[in-house]
Structure 1
């Protein structure tokens, strides 16, 4: 056998087996195993061909929405719309073929684009997901059979203006979500039955658009979440409010909190910026780079997310562009505004994958505190024809088991990046 056919055969084999069932590189929920948008996968391509990485498959029936991806045990889960309802979709992650769909609830209608916003959470043989209207559903992972459902309204919540966008947290026997409202802004449900275990009656702010992060402070499991006006720590065992820090949000607070050790960091767009603090003994917050009661204006991240890598925060900051910020001090390390517009970020194997929301350009850069070093770029093609004129490409990239997954409304793509 000569070399060229051999290489082609090996290439085909690699393409067909790139998605091996490797639980270490699965992506079971929004922002990955640790809700930090960091993949621990290695051996990925350090740069791409001029036309971009090889497209393995495309799926064209996802409908409307900005829902992200969970990738577990050879299956990809996301949400979309079909036949007048929001749906949960399961695809074969290797082939892009539809395995099953499950009906969730009414379609969220919004001028920025209709449909669901959150990402499903996979826990063992179950999938949990929250639709844009606030319908929370648990189904069997193997076939989409519904196990139970509830609504944020039943938990006392009121749908925020852009719909519920939270990706629910599954922790132990609990499904934890943020309905907002007077019954308790945060709620924990029994993951097997949907029965309410507790609500955070001492914290009753309205729901915003962020997702909960688990943390350990002073030997206690807590859930960190934010509203328009506060950042809180809620006891995982009973929903008791452990600490609260005022935060002057404006219009919408979206990015997921960052927690490392006893340090908490949050950022928002609309000119607000970031604050950071530690949780000391007695669950007492101590402000770090915000000693004046205002906010640090280095990182003003709207909704593309930020990543903590080492002791630096990376993401897109309104006004500054792609930005690196010191986690401890809040100081600007570097920024790059000219080479790529606003968008979302993911990390894997020494690189950031940056998706520009307006154009669909995808750029691979070194994950470095020394500055912007671009390795490759390509443009998502084709792009949807059903997106709202006010909407952009807002679904975050996911890198899992040698594949990069991208979405533009009804179109989902899988690329080989290993």
Structure 2
């Protein structure tokens, strides 16, 4: 007869084999997932995220496995199992990481350290105290986010592009507060939003000199410290909207204001978070106010329309996702919608001869009637305010079409808007309906002729609109990054994300051809702000500085 312990002796090697098989399976699964992400054509931000999260999951998974199934004293197994989790928690409590658009770590800051905008908290913004005495429109104006057209386009005479022999000339450079606002330009003045310490400001500068002429401050600071929120950093996101002698703004925490354009004095304000019990979404309120002029289509008074969003928990009867205020008084005119807002701005378009407001919300594109905000149609468009959000504007195209673009490896879609009497709908044009092109993340699309141009991840890309077919993608080194684009006549101007350059590229479907470039901002300072060209002046900014350049003209 075999010894009594023979069975246990034969089972022990089998148990050991089962004990050590998990680490190999776990690491193999993570490696297979990473390879799948690499070869599936995901954008660089998803691939970089996998590079960070993959090793972290590997270490945490192995530590947990060892605590449960490893060999050794219980105290040792528990210590090894808990150590990585404790180290991660301690690190997160001491340091905040800063990321670029690709998700790469570009900075590490001790929590509690003074930030750049806080150093400006005690600095006087205004050098003149009487405000503006010569306020008025200029020959060229850029009075709101992305200008006055359907996409970002320079306003002014043609520029010369031989910057080697006739380079742009710097007019001024100055420190500014944090934030991702662009400049809105009206006549001789440029207005933007900034964070300086505990104050959220709207500041008016002279275009020619950079001197501030007035500022308006609110005690408000958007500065998320959690891992997810910190990826967007601090400060306001929206761009002011200038209409005549008034300026309309939205702060990062949902404060909507109307200011006197000559002095910066407040005329009215609405705290939309408090008034409508809406949630302050993870990366802050980013929608720029939309001005809708009165007309004979039922809009009896000028309106200012803003994305308000929705409460964190579904609330029966909530209907204030999109709200229109009287531009003169701030009184609510109408509200509609129950879905959470995105990070894009409401947009006024004309479809089938009727003015319509487009709004992107969680998982949908919404179309609202301007007179009362009622929903004309909705179309599925994936997005979540706290996970793979929608930031890019819908693009109105001829023939009642709408181009939608989105990052996070989602892609783009071309819609045909159908109207049959009072019934509205939108149908997909492309096959397949969503194509992995123009994967914009923080940026927007510009159109020239039959082609659209935008940042596809961190590359500039051109597609044929009718088919969604890619014409080319840039393969530049150093990369353009998750920058912003501006149509300038026959060219695309790209404001790079991290290298401080503007790059001028042929707006041609034939190939990517770079014609000029210029260093305009400091390197290694993230720039997600849109550039502006008004007349012959280029205005750029990031979260720490702003600058203006005189561009050479083609007629010079």
Q: Do Structure 1 and Structure 2 share a fold, with TM-score over 0.5? A: yes
Establish whether residue 78 from structure 1 lines up as the match of residue 195 from structure 2: no
- Partner residue of 1:31? 146
Cα pair 1:47 1:364 within 8 Å, conserved:
no
**Cα displacement (A) at 1:150:** 0.5
From 360, 363, 369, the equivalent of 2:503 is: 363
- Partner residue of 1:206? 340
Structure 2 spans left out of the alignment, 5+ residues: 1-135, 225-229, 294-301, 311-317
229-238 vs 37-46, which moves further: 37-46
What secondary structure, in the 3-state scheme, does the structure 2 residue paired with 1:107 have? Answer: coil
Distance, in Å, in 2 between the alignment partners of 1:350 and 1:313 is: 13
From 201, 213, 220, the equivalent of 1:99 is: 213
Structure 1 spans left out of the alignment, 5+ residues: 1-20
**Cα displacement (A) at 1:247:** 1.0
Richer in strand (by share): 1
Establish whether residue 119 from structure 1 lines up as the match of residue 265 from structure 2: no
Measured against aligned partners, the alpha-carbon deviations of 1:250-294 in whole angstroms (never above 9, x if no partner) come to 5211011101131011111111111111111232212111555xx
From 420, 428, 444, the equivalent of 1:287 is: 428
Distance, in Å, in 2 between the alignment partners of 1:378 and 1:352 is: 14
Within a 5 Å distance, the mapping from 1:184-263 to structure 2 comes to: 184-200=320-336, 203-249=337-383, 251-261=388-398, 262-263=400-401
- Partner residue of 2:438? 299
**Cα displacement (A) at 1:50:** 7.2
Establish whether residue 269 from structure 1 lines up as the match of residue 407 from structure 2: yes
- Partner residue of 2:203? 89
Distance, in Å, in 1 between the alignment partners of 2:520 and 2:164 is: 14
- Partner residue of 2:541? 407
282-291 vs 124-133, which moves further: 282-291
355-364 vs 138-147, which moves further: 355-364
From 287, 295, 301, the equivalent of 1:166 is: 287
Cα pair 1:42 1:348 within 8 Å, conserved:
no
Within a 5 Å distance, the mapping from 1:141-156 to structure 2 comes to: 141-153=261-273, 154-156=275-277
Within a 5 Å distance, the mapping from 1:303-318 to structure 2 comes to: 303-318=442-457
**Cα displacement (A) at 1:327:** 1.5
Distance, in Å, in 1 between the alignment partners of 2:305 and 2:180 is: 21
Cα pair 1:366 1:372 within 8 Å, conserved:
yes
Measured against aligned partners, the alpha-carbon deviations of 1:191-247 in whole angstroms (never above 9, x if no partner) come to 0111110011xx211111001221122232110111120001100010000000001
Distance, in Å, in 2 between the alignment partners of 1:290 and 1:279 is: 16
Measured against aligned partners, the alpha-carbon deviations of 1:322-356 in whole angstroms (never above 9, x if no partner) come to 10011121111111123432211111122111111
**Cα displacement (A) at 1:40:** 4.0
Distance, in Å, in 2 between the alignment partners of 1:76 and 1:35 is: 21
Q: How many residues align?
A: 387
Over 3 Å counting, the alpha-carbon distance change for 1:290 and 1:103 in structure 2 is farther
- Partner residue of 1:69? 183
Richer in helix (by share): 2
Distance, in Å, in 1 between the alignment partners of 2:219 and 2:342 is: 20
Distance, in Å, in 2 between the alignment partners of 1:381 and 1:274 is: 31
Distance, in Å, in 2 between the alignment partners of 1:281 and 1:256 is: 22
Over 3 Å counting, the alpha-carbon distance change for 1:291 and 1:297 in structure 2 is closer
Cα pair 1:159 1:207 within 8 Å, conserved:
no
Distance, in Å, in 1 between the alignment partners of 2:529 and 2:209 is: 20
**Cα displacement (A) at 1:370:** 1.3
**Cα displacement (A) at 1:73:** 1.4
What secondary structure, in the 3-state scheme, does the structure 2 residue paired with 1:233 have? Answer: strand
Cα pair 1:263 1:277 within 8 Å, conserved:
yes
Cα pair 2:155 2:533 within 8 Å, conserved:
no
Measured against aligned partners, the alpha-carbon deviations of 1:29-56 in whole angstroms (never above 9, x if no partner) come to 0000124101242231223237952110
36-45 vs 100-109, which moves further: 36-45
Distance, in Å, in 1 between the alignment partners of 2:234 and 2:168 is: 30
Distance, in Å, in 2 between the alignment partners of 1:27 and 1:174 is: 19
Cα pair 1:26 1:72 within 8 Å, conserved:
yes
What secondary structure, in the 3-state scheme, does the structure 1 residue paired with 2:276 have? Answer: coil
Normalising by structure 2, report the TM-score: 0.67
**Cα displacement (A) at 1:318:** 2.0
Over 3 Å counting, the alpha-carbon distance change for 1:86 and 1:299 in structure 2 is same
Over 3 Å counting, the alpha-carbon distance change for 1:356 and 1:255 in structure 2 is same
Distance, in Å, in 1 between the alignment partners of 2:166 and 2:221 is: 36
219-228 vs 126-135, which moves further: 219-228
